[in-house]
Structure 1
Amino acid sequence: MISLRYHVISIAAVFLALAVGVVLGSTTLSRTLLSGLSAENGDLGSQVSTLEQQRNALNARLGDAESYATATGPSVVRGALDERTVAIVTTADASPVDRDALKGLVAASGATVTAELRLTEAFTDQARADELREVVTRLLPTGVQLPTVSDPGTLAGGLLGPLLLISKTDNQPQVSDAESAAALTGLTEGGFVEAQPDLRPAQLAIVLTGGEATGDAAGDRAATVARFAAQVDRSGAGAVLAGTTEGSADGAGPVGVVRADTAATSILSTVDNVDTPAGRVVAVLALGEQLADKAGRYGIAGNAQAAAPGAPTE
């Protein structure tokens, strides 16, 4: 006869068997899983090592290319701007290293830098846009007409363009020395610009900007610089807006803003990699192209048309 004790022992044996089976099964599964993860980790480690080697090789090649561009740059631009004059305008985020390297190449091209002007952070501060408009209107020299627009970048370009560039038609200053000094003093006292004391207007201009393309009101700041550069271009024989790879991604930064505006990009040349030796060479060559009433979008960004003037277009 089957007793209650037998039933209890039988049920306990069944549960014990299930527990042993679960333990054995999970142990086998864990070992299989761990083995698979270990193999996958090894594969990923191998891929990371390969990618690091490829990155190091590409960095080495890039370093060689930049060294070559640095060494040959002065020879490439020699004579491109012979006996020309150039004004250099920098934004608050422009690199002094890029500025000094550009000045060296401008000199190597045969040109002379006669004017240097720095736009301060206040120049693109949207909270001070109304103040900038008022200052520009109040300081307008005799005979200079401002564009019939309201954005501060274009208006400031309408004032500073004739101060920085000589007339395209007769190669003469567009503003008297006294009026030019008064306007620059007013803008300086307002905190919008910093100008060298012996500024003399030039034939061509480079507007050098940096990599700031994000943050609060970045789009408005970029638009102010872009419209300023376009208006400066209209004031004389030509101008180039040069930005960095970081700040010139498609649609970003002043270069991106100009390239999205067909009216601006038809007259103003842009370079998106001025933070590289090759990009600086291209900026100088693009200035020479401006003398022939040509404009282009140069560099390595997706919205560039070619690497340099004369290179195959995309």
Structure 2
Amino acid sequence: MIDFRYHVVSLVAVFIALAVGIALGAGPLREGLSSTLESEVSQLREERTVLREQVDAADARAAAREQAFGRVSTRVLEGTLSGVSVGVVTLPGADRNTIDELEDRLSTAGADLALSVDVSDDWADTEPDEARTEALDSVRELVRVPEPREGAATEVGTALAAVLAGADQPGDLGAWRRAATILEDEGLVDLTWHDATSDSFTDRRPPDTLVVVSGGLDAAAVEEPAGEEALATRLDLVDGLAELDVPTVVAGQGTEKAPQEGEDHLDPLVGAVRDDRGLAQQVSTVDNLEHVTGQVATAMALAWALDGRAGHYGLGRLADASLPQVPPVRTVSVGVPVPDPTGDDGQDGSGQTQDEGTDAGDAGGQADGEGADGEEAAGEGGTGDAGADGTQEDGALGDLLPDPAATTSS
């Protein structure tokens, strides 16, 4: 049994040990212990300074490389999307500054930014809503809405896909515009047209190709029911665009940040597209949109998507490469203008039509005198002296003139 004497002895032992420690620390061990600690602290400070300098130097080199790549990319991108109308779909949580930089790259490539679509935060809400249900029913009457993926709680994703694809119901041309207004009035999307005018009309056709910019979801979020439903709705949108044969690139960000052990910075939508073998063969993805290489890759991937080629680019899982191959420059076909003739005699060669050229040939033959060889008369009548200005050699060969409806590439 523990008695009072035991407690006394224990306390005495503790105080003796404390006294011995103080004596040693203030005496023979003081000098060595203090110098050792000071040396270690000094060494740690030096190492921290060196590491900080290395990080600063690495950041400076990375910034210089990014700037150089940005300048070179201008030459690489020029003309690769000439004459192509592009729509940018911004999903909830996407970074606006990154999107502005992406749009600059698309403009550099020659694209026409036709439409910006900002998707609302609650578009993936699965709670029963009578007004939304009626709106989607109205949209379905106007456009051909693909079936949602298995297990989808709502068809808002495929409805938006049908609108952006311009999938009008047969016999109802332009119905997709009215369907877009319905979605906008319901508060599901906000559409901004960047009007491109041609002569006297405003061009508001469906975009030739689309960039879907993801954001606001991470690996942890999609483990929750709300995040899982949001991802399913986003995937429905992409799947619907693929089913309607719209050239599409899905772009996310996050992989430029070095992951810690067990972390995955790959955007969930990008990862879901890559994991779906069938969808991955139809839709391209980019996983590092926050960096200039990702923005350039997105523009280049769009150019290849127009030719039916899909690829996956960036630094994340299942990426094919950091960048696609350089796409060819795209030419734009324009009509050849045919000026009106300046007079009834057709003497202005630049304004001659086929019939006028033939008349000029006949007149030239008569002016050369009777008895002249018919072949010689025809030849003289079709020369530049007769006013043809070198554009036709014989009135009888008027069918060799360029067709006014012909096109040329610029």
TM bucket by the smaller chain?
0.7 to 0.9
- Between 1:123-132 and 1:232-241, the stretch displaced more is 123-132
Give the Å deviation of 1:174: 8.1
- Between 1:270-279 and 1:24-33, the stretch displaced more is 24-33
Which structure has the higher relative contact order (CA within 8 Å, separation 6+)? 1
Work out which of the residue numbers 283, 292, 299 in structure 2 matches 1:268: 283
* Percent of matched pairs sharing the same residue: 23
- Amino acid corresponding to residue 24 of structure 1 in structure 2: A
Q: Is the 8 A contact 2:166 2:174 kept in 1?
A: no
Number of the residue aligned with 2:182: 186
Q: Is the 8 A contact 1:81 1:288 kept in 2?
A: yes
- State the distance in 2 between where 1:84 and 1:33 align: 74
- State the distance in 2 between where 1:82 and 1:237 align: 18
Deviations 1:205-262 (A, max 9, x none): 1011235425564444344323322322332241001112269945543222322332
Q: 1:88 to 1:18 in 2, by over 3 A?
A: closer
**Aligned: 1:209 with 2:210:** no
Give the Å deviation of 1:201: 0.3
Number of the residue aligned with 1:105: 105
- Amino acid corresponding to residue 151 of structure 1 in structure 2: A
The structure with the greater share of residues assigned to helix is 1
Give the Å deviation of 1:272: 1.1
- State the distance in 2 between where 1:202 and 1:226 align: 20
- Between 1:63-72 and 1:236-245, the stretch displaced more is 63-72
- State the distance in 2 between where 1:212 and 1:277 align: 22
Matches within 5 A, 1:256-295: 256-295=271-310
Give the structure-2-normalised TM-score. Answer: 0.61
Give the Å deviation of 1:128: 6.8
- Between 1:253-262 and 1:292-301, the stretch displaced more is 253-262
Listed as ranges, the gaps of 5+ residues in structure 2 are: 1-14, 196-203, 258-263, 327-410
- Amino acid corresponding to residue 272 of structure 2 in structure 1: V
Give the structure-1-normalised TM-score. Answer: 0.78
Q: Is the 8 A contact 1:267 1:295 kept in 2?
A: yes
- State the distance in 1 between where 2:171 and 2:40 align: 72
Matches within 5 A, 1:1-314: 21-27=20-26, 28-29=28-29, 32-127=32-127, 135-142=135-142, 144-149=144-149, 150-151=151-152, 155-165=155-165, 176=172, 179-196=175-192, 199-210=204-215, 212-213=217-218, 215=221, 217-245=226-254, 249-310=264-325
Larger radius of gyration: 2
Output the aligned Cα RMSD. Answer: 3.5
- Between 1:183-192 and 1:239-248, the stretch displaced more is 239-248
Listed as ranges, the gaps of 5+ residues in structure 1 are: 1-15
- State the distance in 1 between where 2:87 and 2:72 align: 24
Deviations 1:185-217 (A, max 9, x none): 221222211012565302211011235425564
Q: 1:36 to 1:130 in 2, by over 3 A?
A: farther
Query: When the two structures are aligned, how many residues end up with a matched partner?
Result: 292
